[in-house]
Structure 1
Amino acid sequence: MTHPSSPSPSEHHPALAAEDPELAALIGAEERLQAGTLRLIPSENYVSAAVLEASGTVLQNKYSEGYPGRRYYEGQQNIDPVERLAVARAKAVFGVEHANVQPYSGSPANLAVYLAFAEPGDTVMGMALPMGGHLTHGWGVSATGKWFRGVQYGVRQDTGLVDLDEVRDLALKERPKLIFCGGTALPRTIDFAAFAEIAHEAGAVLVADIAHIAGLIAGGAHPSPVPHADVISTTTHKTLRGPRGAMLMAREEHAKAIDKAVFPGLQGGPHNQTTAAIAVALHEASRPSFRDYAHAVVANAKALADALLARGFDLVSGGTDNHLILMDLTPKDVPGKVAAKALDRAGIVVNYNTVPFDPRKPFDPSGVRIGTPSLTSRGLGAEHMATVADWIDRGVAAARAEDEDALTKIRAEVADLMSAHPAPGLPTD
């Protein structure tokens, strides 16, 4: 829902509005949409104004193939310190021996891990996509499943939890070169120590993909993989509240292989404006206030899960330990896609998602995936979660009844609460 007082694009993007008013209008509409809706997609967040500014600086104009002190281009007097700063901050925030901040995004970062440690045709192991894993963990439709032999583990049907005994049996049987732990729809704490024991016994390299939970780890709200994993892969947005980029972190013994795989193995010049924004986000993540934020994300997710359970929702694994909740809407007699689109019309932004052992197809699944990073960034607390759960409950019921008036009423209520909790980084009057 837009507000009459919302600024026009020309006020905050004057050069863009003058040069390309059509695009400026679309960006202005997106700013109003983000301001006026309740964003519950767990992989989304709001970056600070400082991160946003760093993303749009003259660093955009630079090419910097190579690494600090070893570039293939001259004129790097200011770029090298920027990258060194980002690397130093990553090492400090996560307590790692080596960090590479050049990967363009999470999937290329994971591809670099394959290039560093495996050969085409090697066996790799990860969580199955329908069970909550990621495409790049060896799933068939991904390049990682086409170029490597992917074997997958899942979760128990009765608990929704990973059965580590089954993971161990599979690893010892298949002897993969790489074992990935982590995923995109995992509501529970990852037992990095147990995965490390399994990887060691199977002779595999353990890769912890913490893209979703990096901010929680940085803020001490989730155990760290650093003592256990050989390599850590992460995006820099999501709970970390940085730009759309990625990092690879590793023990010093793997530093050369990782760096060589990123450049020249997969990429050319890094996106220096993104590197700068990563440095800003890591600076913010080092503050006590970010620790408070990370713990609030988890507290909000648990409160929201409890409120949804009280309203009869079926949550995969029965709840959450982190920022993410996965709901099976089968008992509500509403497909996930139908519910997600109805909630969107109600100003509640979620994504439809498969649930473990889902009988429906991925593009029309049974579930909905939600999370609390964005609403926590806006200052909503546990005291607001019953209201959020009530909106979801009413929205799902309205989807089932095809009641557009009910969705319109919810949207107005959402807009009122959002107006009282401005989002970081968005333009204001």
Structure 2
Amino acid sequence: MRLPRLFRSASLRTRVAIASAAAASAVVAAFTILTSVVLANNDAAQLDRRLDAIVDASVFPDELQDPRRVLTTGRSRSSGQVVFQRGFQLPALPPGTETVLVNGVEYRVRTIPVEQEGGVLMSIGIRADSILLDRARVPTYIAVGVVTVLIAAGLGWLLAGPAIRPLRKLTEHTTRLGKGADQIPAVHGVREAEDLAEAMTAMLSRLAAAQLATTNSLQAAQDFAANAAHELRTPLTAMRADLDTLRIHDLPPEERAEVVADLSRAQRRVEGIITALGQLASGQLAQAEDREVIDVTDMLDRVARENMRVGRDVRIDMDVSDDLGHVLGWPSGLRLAVDNLVRNAITHGQATRILLAAHRRGDVVTIVVDDNGRGLPAEEHETVLGRFSRGSNAAPGGSGLGLALVAQQATLHRGSIRLSDGPLGGLRATLTVSANPDTQQDSAD
């Protein structure tokens, strides 16, 4: 059933007042009907008891001889003729008790046989007046009912004020969002209002997280496009020049092989740049809910075995403490960071021996990669961690993003990356990550 338009547009306070008035009306009506039925039955029982007293009395009291209140009529049982009467004449009635109307007045009449000659039926009636159900008092009852309903509506209005105050505060806080306020303060007083405030706060948090994810996605896409356009221009230009050379000139086999080798190196560089940019974009879009428990020892073992298969003349040793345990993070990202450090030592440092060491101190896990390669000048230890920054002794064809990926993953895992001279004669890379999920949460968000 559809509510009236006025009620649908009313405030909560008004609705509470109307509901209180309606409830009071229903209670008053039910109480009135129930009371009327009970009083009517009680009146009938009292009248019957008075009739019994009159009939049983051998001498009528003076107050019962008033013909305006007590009527008595005797009739012959055989002929029905009136033998005697007091007051108005009662109609002929069979033995029993009935309510009859005489001259516009209701009487409660008891008819009994009187054993005389020929037999006589005597009807005795008394006025069926009711003190409590007097019709003259009906307006008073109605007035009392109306006052009761109005009082209930007023109480509903007054009591609804404090009840809806938290909702009004919640509305005010909501309207101020975006106008100097970024969150809804806690609301107290009514459990429903508190639940609503908590639900709205959670919704705003989800919206903020979704907005941040969208912003990060757009930023990652813009960075990818800008970096790709900038960094791919040179190798693509070189590839086009080499292709034009092969198309226009009939080169000797030696020169042709050299141009094809240049093309191959440029192609690998383009592929490496695109792959690294994609990995950087994935790091920018990392979400806290994507974290998993990482077995650091197992991860380091996999990195060592796979890199030794790629470079057969490289030996990778491991020195991992027994209490290394697990960390909560992004498995592919952390694996990529360690793998890039090892491959950087092999490809650019020309290392033949690498030592992977790891230990734990509290909530911090430290992974150290030492190599016996060519190392890196001290003044470049910080600069090579930036995007598209290459060391002075880097091998050709690199993307310049490998160490930048390591730095990104270190930040995501609430840690750091530091380069220094190593004890094996080459470069030492020290990667620290936090194993505490609570500290990682801030970084991920």
Say yes or no: TM over 0.5: no
The answer to which structure, 1 or 2, has the higher relative contact order (CA under 8 A, 6+ apart) is 1
Structure with more helix by fraction: 2
TM bucket (normalised to shorter chain) is under 0.3
Q: Radius of gyration: which is bigger?
A: 2
Structure with more strand by fraction: 2
